[in-house]
Chain A
Amino acid sequence: MKPFKLSTVLLYLFLILGALIMIFPFYWMITGSFKTADGINAFPPNLIPTEITLKNYRFALETAPFARYFLNSVIAAVASVSICTLTTILAAFAFSRLRFVGRVRIFGMLLAMMMVPFEMVVITNYRTIVQMGIHNKLIALIIPFSSSIFYTYILKNFFDSIPESLYQAARVDGCSNWRYLWRVMVPIAKPSLYTIVLLNTIASWNSFMWPMLATNSKNVRTLPFGLYTFVTEGGARNEIMMAASTIVVLPMIILFLVTRKNIVNGVARGGLKG
């Protein structure tokens, strides 16, 4: 066995310290959610809860409709991600394989539009959904996200990397575009699609600004905004706040632990839409 070098030990110490800082808020949130009122306000703080209670969860679930918020978040995420994935596949295929007038120019315009911040279009989108009469309805959290230039761009790039000769061979054999897309392109692009779905799900689950604008009644709120109103309107105590926050974060933590490699690769390739 090699003897430990001082530099290796220092390297590990630094990395471990950094990792602990990155992960500490999650540890603090989850342990805090099980602490009693005395335990959470103790100073010096208890790194490990001395007394464990489930009361905070019961209190949070009883005072605010977190089950409803959770369901709304799931509905909004599943619906917007499925619709968006479908429109993305169709558009990416058209831009990658089909030939039509103005294809390059249109795609260039779309790329330029990608630079426009969401915070700018939000002004008009807010009025659009009011005029459409879907303000304060769950569908207002779904249809503005029914198509995404960003994901279309990512998928189009992947489609471009599939050899064109494959497409021509299939066309010679009389395979329709539709059949080729679903039988050849989509199966090959599965890892890419999987990453897009993951990133989109995370973005939808965590979105805060749009739900804050588009919804105001309790029965259509999603988790992040529901959590925020629960804390500000109720003046929730720390331990209750941590229990409610854990409810919001836990599904994404589980998703991350299971799919870490895909998420990290996706972010490394395309960046996260922030």
Chain B
Amino acid sequence: MRIMKACAQLGHDFICLCTDVDRECGHVDMARELGGDSCVYTISNYLDANEIFSVADHAQATAIHPGYGFFAEDFRFARRTMSRDRSMIFIGPSWWVIRELGDKINTKRIARSLGVPTIPGSDRPVYNELEAENIARNLFDFQAAQGIRDGMVLVKASAGGGGMGIEEVQDLDQFRSVFRRIRNYAKRNFNDEGVLIEQRIFDFNHLEVQVVSERGGRKHVHFGTRNCSVQSTGKQKRIEVAPGFAPGDLPYAFDAAKVLEDITHHSLTMAREVGYDNVGTWEWIVTPKGEPFLMEVNTRIQVENGVSAVISRVGGEFGVNIIKEQVRLGLGGELSYDQEDISFDGVGIEYRIIAENPDDRFSPCSGAITRFGWQEEDWLELSTQIPRNRVYEIPMEYDPNLALAIVWGESLEQAKERGIRFLDSVVLEGESGGSAAEFRTNIAYLRDRTANLLEF
């Protein structure tokens, strides 16, 4: 939706893809409204690149925006967009950048070569048992020296992902057997024996740096930091706050302002080194002692970009739109301002309103929305695909996201208070399995978590 708005604002024609399942959603309505009936194409599957390209060819599109997921971090899709016979512009970083930063191990190595702090441990797959044991011993010694009680080491299959092939080790005596187990698991399941060994970090905060770069990869700015520590059990973000810490409003055990400065500095250093050339997010974890470690780089625009935009001023002006910047820069537009032109003001909180049950491991809730309303405010931005004039069936095929609300306040205190006020004003009714009582949303959970935002 926001991409279409951005295109419309920049004066570009666009087409919009939808599938049979979500053709009734609000975003399709908006596409019809902004671009006319002819700009909506129905495809069978968002994951089929061939179909997407044939639609693009049919519509004579000159550029493709991959959205937030699916193809946004797929360097092959980007490469194909660029190097096919009828080439198009991929709104996102160049494919080689996506490839280099899409691989976590590679990202870690690049970071280390620049002196950017990363999680202690190995930075390439370890095959040799003696080498592995040496790393593990060092990690335990290191944690002990740091005064961490019950230090832990993570052993994971380098080719794995999504939690598969990861185990925690509590002491060195267990390490060898766990290492062998993971190595054999990796060999059987991923055909690669490589194993990574890292320190297990507890109670960390998840911070992000929003980076924006020009095509050509020469000029880079950041739009501040975000704190995304409120997550579901499945590590899905629920509340994002910008900026990442509030050193003025809250006491921290470490120098929070310096941490924020360090991570933005490191992020920009890396962006310069790899020649980053679009919008991206550097994800960091910060330990309770205030040590930041680079986790990974998201080479795409993220859903939560709006919360950074709302606190940012370019040349003192309101109304930064990072998606609009992304499209403009992606098409080769110039980055006409410097870091000095960017200033930050106030605190932004983004809530994701989702039909789910936070008490039951955030299990998604199916059903229909019968009523949805809220109090409009000038400090509130809310986008939703739910049409207001009819009953909306939540599609089972995709995540049951209902709305995204961004609240702004002059201070953390005010932002929190406004956030609560907004959540209280939301009227969201629906039914699940024929009963209204079964219908669950995460609004109460969001309100609970608002109280101690940014505290560490």
Specify whether A and B are partners.
Answer: no
